Structure 1
Amino acid sequence: MAVAASLVLTGIAVAYTVRAADERRPTPGKATGAAFDLTAGRLVFRDMRPGRGRDAVAAVPLARTRDGRTSADLRCVRFYAAAGTGVCLNTAPGPVPRTYAAVLDRNLREVRRVALPGVPSRARVSASGRMISWTVFVQGDSYSDGSFSTRTGVLDTRTGRTVTSLEGIALTLDGRRHRSPDVNFWGVTFAADDDLFYATVSTGGRTYLVEGSFTRWTARTLRENAECPSLSPDGRRLVFKKRVSRDPADPWRLYALDLRTLRETPLAEPHSVDDQAAWLDARTVMYARPRESGGSDVWAVPADGSGPPRLLVPDAASPSALGRAKGF
């Protein structure tokens, strides 16, 4: 089984290398020091403009997101930051590419690196900057058709505890302890106590929203058909993507979930969004939305179901709000 898994991963890695060359995937770099840091009041993101600067970490003021952007000498496939801590998922080129999560300080200096076994997919940092999570594809490279396998890990930067896979957690599904070789986790989001988390789990051909505890190493399902959750700053709501169609070109819509009542509200974004949304402020979520012509932009929409969505940052992906904007 280990040999088969290795062959599968090697095949994915080679395919990813070819695609990376075609798309000018990022190469490891170092931050520009004083010229760029994770200062509050900024919106940081992955620059998606064509050319040599593509995939660089960039920033604009939260209050003026259409102003000129500042870029760092650091490129990432996925990026997220909070409270002066960043995480950059990247792939180093080579005969067999090496994927890793780089933990970054306020000045984007790498302070730790964790080797990862697949293609970068999701990344998160808790609001305090303490907890880091990542998801990679280890088989397949899309959530849309269900033929994929993921590996999700968590790092506690304070204690150094690193969990390379959530698949060993004690999972309760519909009130019963669940054990199955097909369990996959992805899309972690942390609560303010740096222990409680929410994530997606897939098993038996279905997806579920789970609530878990990192210290107790337990998780339980809350509801079905909720992927890539993102917890609001007040901890009362989750925004997630919900599968509404089997059409691979248009499978998802964004919804908000009240964690007290478990009542869901559809958001006003009419397009399919394959992203783990992030909160711009207490009332607004943001997310990357691809363009038909290629590339992507970051959009924002109210989290209460009103609308309409608005373009927040063109030619961008992987947004993180450092501090709070005034509202939508």
Structure 2
Amino acid sequence: MNARTRIVVLLVAVLVLGGVAVGSVLRAADQAQRKDQQQTTGPQVTAGRVALAGAASARQPRLVFRSTLWGPHRDELVSVPASAPAGPRTASGLRCLRFFTAAGTGSCLRAVPGALAGHYEAVVLDARLRARRHVPLVGSPTRTRVSPSGRMVAWTVFVSGESYTGLNFSTRTSILDTRTGTFQSNLESYRVVKDGQPYRSPDINFWGVTFADDGHFYATMATRGTAYLVRGDIARRTVTTLRGNVECPSLSPDGTRLAFKKRVPGLPADAPWRLYVLDLPSMREHPLAERRSADDQAVWLDDHTVAYALPGDFETDAWSVPSDGTGHPHRLMPAAQAPSEVR
């Protein structure tokens, strides 16, 4: 075989291999597109109007949450009647990775549309899901809450790390006053009172804010390998420790109890938590009937029911359990995360 023939053979081989590679890429892209366009299983989802307050929600209480079903409406905020949570869903067209709402104000933590991967923002929404304010985030979204009046919004991002399983990660928690525009970018600027004494440490992290009112909140503070429940005063910019081994607190609608996740000795390192409820007046706690490890900040559907996320076929399913420790866990709906009731 002379040099010219070898060059021709080489060129043919390159063209064939290139064609195979292009074909493989096109087939993979087509399969991915079909997967995105087709909802495999689960409740029916159709586009429609979703509101966080107003006449539509006043007629019948509804749940609004992030849907994780595969298909064109994945990650969109959807709503269902509170009386039929596993039924057909109305999709809003707005995508959020984390979401919470109260009194007609919504907090949506999302990837910045059209930006490169890894760019996130917090969007404050009005009752019609219109953006009122955009705030760039310095990490990946993990928690968000709105005060009962709808005025105050808080969120937490991972600055480093991506799991709460260990305590070797870094978070940043921010609070925004939607009425005045005052923005507290990092709770680590707060003065800490621990065991009755001023406390400082370079390893402090905060996450999981839950509001008592527009001036006070509960949250988790971690330092030197221990997670503490703290109560915060926004005007004074102080937090005070209340007790240890409390993570991701969630205040009941009547303001008397906190649902939280607790690390229980003897459980696997990758599934260390059990759900508990703490009675604030007596500071007594009791476990809930859910015995699986739930890495979530629970939500209260009412004064007697706690909802939370567990892994499912489509990322997470929403489960519920009585808050008094009785009963059994119940799968509220598939492919759902952090349902909020709107009236």
Name the TM-score, length of structure 2 as normaliser. Answer: 0.82
2:305 pairs with 1:284: yes
Q: Which residue number corresponds to residue 179 of structure 1?
A: 200
CA distance in 1, matches of 2:70, 2:48: 26
Residues 1:50 and 2:70 aligned together: yes
Pick the aligned partner of 1:312 from 307, 332, 335. 332
One of 97, 100, 104 as aligned partner of 1:84: 104
Give the length in aligned residue pairs. 293
Q: Is the 1:131–1:157 Cα contact (8 Å) retained in structure 2?
A: yes
Q: Give CA deviations for 1:279-299 in whole Å, capped at 9, x if unaligned.
A: 1001111111112x4521111
Task: Report percent identity of matched pairs.
Answer: 53
Shift of 1:96: 5.9
- The structural deviation recorded for 1:166 is 0.3
Q: Is the 8 A contact 1:33 1:107 kept in 2?
A: no
Provide the C-alpha distance between the structure 2 equivalents of 1:34 and 1:254, rounded to a whole number of angstroms. Answer: 35
Q: How far apart in 2 are the matches of 1:43 and 1:107?
A: 15
In the alignment, residue 312 of structure 1 is paired with which amino acid? L
Question: How do residues 60-209 of structure 1 correspond to structure 2 at under 5 angstroms?
Answer: 60-92=80-112, 94-95=115-116, 97-191=118-212, 193-209=213-229
Higher mean C-alpha displacement, 182-191 vs 244-253: 244-253
Cα deviation for residue 52 of structure 1 reads 2.2
Distance in 1 of aligned mates of 2:302 and 2:105? 19
Q: How does 1:249-288 map to 2 (within 5 A)?
A: 249-288=270-309
User: Which is worse superposed, 238-247 or 123-132?
Assistant: 238-247
Code of the residue aligned with 1:169 in structure 2: it is Y
| Gap runs ≥5 in structure 1 | 1-20, 25-31, 324-328
Aligned to 2:10: none
Task: Give the Cα separation in 1 of the matches to 2:122 and 2:135.
Answer: 5
Gaps of 5+ in 2: 1-31, 37-45
For the residue of structure 1 that corresponds to 2:282, the secondary structure is coil
Give 1:71 shift: 0.7
The amino acid that maps onto 1:269 is E
**How many Å separate the matches in 2 of 1:201 and 1:273?**
19
**CA shift at 1:83, angstroms?**
0.9
**What code does the residue aligned with 2:222 have?**
S
Q: Provide TM-score, normalisation by structure 1.
A: 0.85
Query: Could you say which structure has the larger radius of gyration?
Result: 2
For 2:63 and 2:296, the matched residues in 1 are separated by: 17
The answer to whether the 8 Å contact 2:70/2:314 transfers is no
Contact kept? 1:136, 1:151, Cα under 8 Å: yes
Relative to structure 1, the CA distance from residue 251 to residue 294 in structure 2 (aligned partners, 3 Å threshold; closer, same or farther) is farther
The 1:33–1:297 alpha-carbon spacing in structure 2 relative to 1, beyond 3 Å, is: closer
Among 50, 54, 62, which residue is 1:36 paired with?
A: 50
What amino acid is the match of 1:105? D
**Contact preservation (8 Å) 1:275, 1:287:** yes
Find the aligned partners of 1:34 and 1:58 in 2 and give their Cα distance.
Answer: 9
Distance 1:273 1:259 in 2: 22
Q: Which residue of 2 aligns with 1:221?
A: 241
Judging changes above 3 Å, is the alpha-carbon distance between structure 1 residues 225 and 87 closer, same or farther for their aligned structure 2 residues?
A: same
AA matched with 1:241: K
Q: Is the 8 Å Cα contact of residues 277 and 287 (structure 1) preserved in structure 2?
A: yes
The CA deviation string for residues 4-60 of structure 1, in whole angstroms up to 9 with x for no partner, is xxxxxxxxxxxxxxxxx9x98xxxxxxx99822113411111001112211110111
RMSD, aligned α-carbons: 1.9
* 1:186-209 deviation per Cα after TM superposition (whole angstroms, max 9, x unaligned): 000001x31110000001111000
Q: In structure 2, the residue corresponding to 1:127 is in which secondary structure?
A: coil
Q: CA deviation at 1:249?
A: 3.0
Report if the CA contact (8 A) 1:240-1:254 is conserved.
yes
- The C-alpha deviation readout for 1:248-294, integer Å capped at 9, x for no partner, is 33211100001111100100011110110011001111111112x45
| Equivalent residue runs for 1:223-242 within 5 Å | 223-242=243-262
Report the Cα distance in structure 1 between the residues aligned to 2:257 and 2:100, rounded to whole angstroms. 20
